[in-house]
Amino acid sequence: MRLIHLAVAGVLAAGASGSLRADEPNWVYGYAQVMNNYVSRGLSQSVGAASAQVELDVNPGAGLYANLSAVHIGWVDELWPGDSVHVEVDGVLGWRGLWARDGEWKAGVLRLQFPGRYAPQSPPVTRPDTTEVFGYVRWRGLSARLNVAVTDAFATPDSRGAWYLDLNATRPLDEVWSLGAHLGRRQSRGTNPDTGADNARLFSYTDYKLSVTRSLGARRSLTLAYTWTTANPAIYTLDGYRVGGPHLSAVLEQDF
C-alpha cells in the first residue's frame, strides 16, 4: 500500500509543478498512476485490488535510452501461499529511433523482477523473474510491440521463447477526448518437465481492450477501459477471482 500512497502524492505534486516545467526540456520524464485494478497483458496483476504505478524514462530522443517502473501487484501471493511479493520492478535498456513525421521504433531488453519474501514450496517453484527482448514500432496513433522471453517466463517451466504481441490504436476525438483499442496475444512455449503438460495449450490466450481517455489538463488524464480475454478460467482464476476478466478499470495518470 505504500506504493499507492507514494503514487497518489506523486500525481498531486506533479500536477502542481507541471506548469512550472512545461517549457523546460526534460532529459528524464515519466508518469504516476493510481487505478482500481492493475490490468496488464489482459490479466489483473493486482487480482482485482487497487494499485499504483510509477515509471521513469531517460532520454526521450533518439539513441540509447533506459526505463524503470514499479507497480503494486498481488498475483504471486495468491498463486503460492506464504509468499510476500507486492511489487513488480521492470527495467529496460534499449535503443530508440525516430522516423518520418510521427514515427518511432525501439528495441532492447526488458527485465521483470519480483522482489519479496518467497516461502518454500512443494514441489519447489522458481521465482517468476523474467527477461525478454522486444521490438516496437509506432506511427501516429498505431503501434505494435513484440516481447519474446529469453528465460523461462513467469516461473513456467520450459517456457523460454514464449512471446506477447501487443497491437494498439488511438484516435483523438478532439482536444480533450480520445478512444483506444488494443489486441494482444500471449503464446506460451514448451512442456512442463514434471507433469508433461503442454504450456501452449494451458497458458496461451488472446486479449482485447476498448478505452476512452479524457484530458484533465496540467498533464493529467483519466482513462476508463474494458478488457476481456480468451484465457481459460480454470487456469486463470485465483482465490475465486477471474484474473482473465472481463475487467472494467479506471486509471488516473499524471505525466511529468
In this prediction the pTM is: 0.89
- DSSP strands (E only) in the chain: 28-35, 39-40, 43-44, 51-58, 63-72, 87-99, 103-113, 130-139, 142-149, 163-172, 177-187, 205-217, 220-229, 237-238, 241-242, 247-255
Cell of 228: 476481456
Q: What is the pLDDT of residues 50-85, one digit of tens each?
A: 999 999 999 888 999 999 999 999 999 999 999 999
Q: Which amino acid would we find at residue 248?
A: L
Measure the CA–CA gap between 55 and 90, rounded to whole angstroms. 9
Q: What is the pLDDT of residues 221-254, one digit of tens each?
A: 999 999 999 999 999 999 999 999 999 999 999 9
The conformation of residue 109, written as its DSSP 8-state character, comes to E
Domains of the chain: 2-255 (2.40.160.40)
The conformation of residue 250, written as its DSSP 8-state character, comes to E
Per-residue pLDDT, averaged over 83-110, amounts to 96
Sign (positive or negative) of CA dihedral 161, 85, 166, 55? negative
